[in-house]
Structure 1
Amino acid sequence: MRASRFVRIRRGVAAVARDRRGTTSILVAGSMTALVGAAALAVDVGSLYFAKRKAQTAVDLAAIAGAGGLPDPDKVVRDSLADNGFSFLTPRQPQAGPPVPQVSLTALTITPGRYAPDIAVPVDKRFTPASAATANALRVTMRQTTPLYFGRLITGQTEAAYEVSGTASVAKSAAFSVGTRLLKLDGGIANALLSALLGTSVSLSVMDYEALATAKIELFPLLDALGDELNLRAVSYDTLLNVSGPIGKTLTAAARVASLTNQTKAADALRRLANGTDVARLGVKLRDIIDLGPMGAKTLGEGPAVAAQVSALNLLMAEAQVANAKRQVSLDLGVSLPGLASAKVTLGIGERPVKAVWLANGPPNAAQAHTAQTRLLLDVKLLGNALVPAGVRLPVYVELAAADARLADVRCR
């Protein structure tokens, strides 16, 4: 009896051992943790990456918009974020209009500051917080959470927090030049002045000079036209400025731009000057009078929409003075007066403007220039008498119509 019972037990155990039903369920139950972890990695990590990428784009756009809205960027930043689906509400700022879909938001920080684009400074050190009144950059930091789908089964958390930050700066650029002008200059003297500088015979009327003085030439269209005159293609503005081109080409380009803006009188005067033989021969590098700063790296035809203008007459005089730096106009006048042994008056008109960038990009007080339009040297030798010994020499040096210019600040309104 005992033997048969043992046999039956043995047979039952063998039957169970041979039964393979339910094996898959056991394996699935045992690997459920790994499956949930894989799902969390695929779904939750992907969802977190997508949410962070979307938030980063929104923060970058908000920083750019806010930097343009300094010194009061708060509303601009919030409006930009709301336009991209991230609405930050405060108790004093009730939501108006249709509801905006929101995720769980925990913090928004708007920090004005100063940004220094210096390659010698580590990237994370270039931005320093500052007051909104003196700021030229803005940093927007947003911290928020996104829901977990499968990760909550492992971590016990229903949300994952992340933080994104964007920094934008405003590159303030200003176009300015310094070159003093006399109150009135007779047409004959003006022709003599230009003739001496250009080494040719110049015959323009007072009306021509007035047209040149009032004509405003857009800088980047001028450079584009000059590149076409010099047959330069696919080069940067800096490359063009480094080319020694004839003044006649620059005047022709300026005439083309003036014609496009209906400044016909100035265009006609520029064309007549450009046709002069010596003017066509004289060469000058525009880099000596124009500095585009970071904008010079752009390719011809891709100039920024910057309202940089130059007077046609100022451009002409600056080029003429650079081309003939050693031919400054000097008029020697002999003067004979009672009591004077001799008197020599030397009059210099038209010092070329000290270099000042047309487009200045930098901190306040970084760009400045000085010029003097007229210089007068009076060298007098007195006759001797009982009170004054003979041979006394009295040199007097006078600067007339002097000017200083300094870029103090750039403010956009």
Structure 2
Amino acid sequence: MARARLPSRIGRQRGAMSVTMLLLMIGLVAMLGLVEIGYLYWAKRDAQKVADLSAIAGAQRLDLCNTSYSNNTAARINAEKDNAFPGQLEIHCGNWNAVHAAADHFVQGVSEGNPLNAVRVIASRSVIPFFGQNESLPTVTAQAVAKRSAPSAVFSVGSQLLRINGDTPLGNVLKLVGVDLNATTVLGYDGLANAHITPGGLLEALGIPVDANISIGDFNALLAANKVSLGSLLDASASVLARSGVTDIDLKALRDALGLELSLDDLAVQLGSDDGSSGLFAKIIAPDGSASSALQADVNLLDLITTGITIASDGRGVAVNNLNLLGLVQVKAGVVEPPSIAIGGVGARAYNAQVRLFANIDTNNIPAVGGLLGLLGTRLNLPLHVDVTNAMGTLTSLQCSSSPPTATIQVDASVLRACVGKVGDADRFSKTNVCDAGLQNEQLLTLLGIPLINNQIKVNALADQQSITLAAGETGSTQINKLALGNTVSELTTQLLNVLSGMLNPRGNGLSTSDTAYQLAERYLLAGSNSNGTYNIERTITLLEHGSKDLGIEKLGSWQIKKGVPEPCVLGLFNCFRDGTVWEGFRATVTGQGSGLLPGLLGTLLGGLVVERCNSVVGSLDYKNCAKRNLASYIQTNTEEGFLDQFNGGGVTAPGNEEIACTGILCIVLKGPLDLLKPLLNNIGSLLSDLLANLLGLELGRTDVHVQSIQCGGAQLVY
């Protein structure tokens, strides 16, 4: 019996291999596509790498930009030779600033306010496909902008009233009996002096976010607005060191040692400085307006911690709240400004603690006696402000071409700055120099009800200015203060003569001068001055009458005044007054021409005007100011409606701070010999300073400057 035939298996599976091959081909095509996409990604990354490196190389050598700012040789060599880039390059030199409206904040070329500081590189290349001709593949393009950071430095200053040097004859003698003046120990912790952290790293550890492109103004405001505890500052410093791999510094020992004396978490440290207060960092100066370089500056950890400790303790290395001496003198003292660390370019400043003493000498405070003097209308009131041992370091230049780079810092120090006058309670212990703009006249002496002295006295004694040049990591000291006694005595004499002229002169007794008239008087007198600064009255009168186009001086013209021109009478001893031109009267009061003998010697008031006799014994003490006041009074005699109003605003200079110029008998007797003795007194002070230093080892008024780091020619990607 025959079997039935079964269907062929081969026939039933016909076409199965085609499906398999189709799936295989789809997989292969997908894999090839992924390879192509990966290649595109690699090409993009390679172009971006070339653009980044080329931009940085160009920013480091901005001097190789061409005159049209369309190429930079260093950037092109880096891309084409060092990195063998086969594509096209667009290289532009210009200015990068976060305020520019473009997406990359870059502007090609240089203009006023936009200095050359950056290079932009656009790198593009075509992509060759691996398989076949695929013209749809895009051209790969990458862009980068690199900015050259302005040179900057980090430094601090430390003023010293007195330093003891044991390597002197006296020091060597004392060593024989067991006294070593150099045996001064300072608590130290291994490694702190050589450890560095960056402000950016410190702020990150403190949990204060900072945008890398933050402007320097916003950065200063951010620092000034943030206070942290001293404990947090130490912990954050330790955290930064740990992350950077530094393991040989144990800040826990320092924290534990300080914790025995201070409540670390209760003491606040202000990070930045502003116009009203000082902080850990002084106001940062960045010539390019960006804080990026300041964020990466190397700050010495030992300086940062010691400065932080001083600020946390309120900077009160010296504090006298209220000391009463026999009821006559009330004394207060304190440190005005804690030390700070300066970061930035030329113009950056670091301050050091300035001890301010306020002594209120007032006879009204004397028990019993003060009341009796008050009944007699007599009072001596001397509010004395004294600043001791202050120092300010200002970065004046950076020498990046030298090897190693160096920084030059100008140190302005003063052993003593004193003044007598009125100061508001809020300003008394502010960081503002109260002996300058904040000082006002005070009623210093009243005798039998007569206000004799209403004035102020300012003396900057034993001031010193020196410059010091250091490399990164170096510490240097200024030379000892040369004790310029002659300058100090001369300045004090000048101030006393000014006070004397204020007591004896009739000025202020009805003298009325508007601000505009006084400013006009100063403007014309300065314009007519001789080359040595003395007033030339005849030239001034010519300018008043006719003006000068070359000097931009308008003419005031001339007019008649009644009873304003003096002339001698009664045997030539006294003055009578006649009508005449305004400038005849001004000339007579200032030069003495046509004046009687006695008024010329003693000074007097004119009949029709309240003015002073500037060539008298008393008036000559303050000759320049006397001339200004008289001219202002004569200017106001013009009764034409709106005469002075036309000079309000532009073209009128503000009153200056000219030195007192006196030519009378008292000046010849008192100030003349002192001017001759000034060099001798200065030499005596210098000799005394050298003797104290070389024989006794007492070095007065030195300032230490420590340069922590210098950054030159650095470049960074900003886009």
TM-score, normalised relative to structure 2: 0.31
User: Which has a greater percent of helix?
Assistant: 1
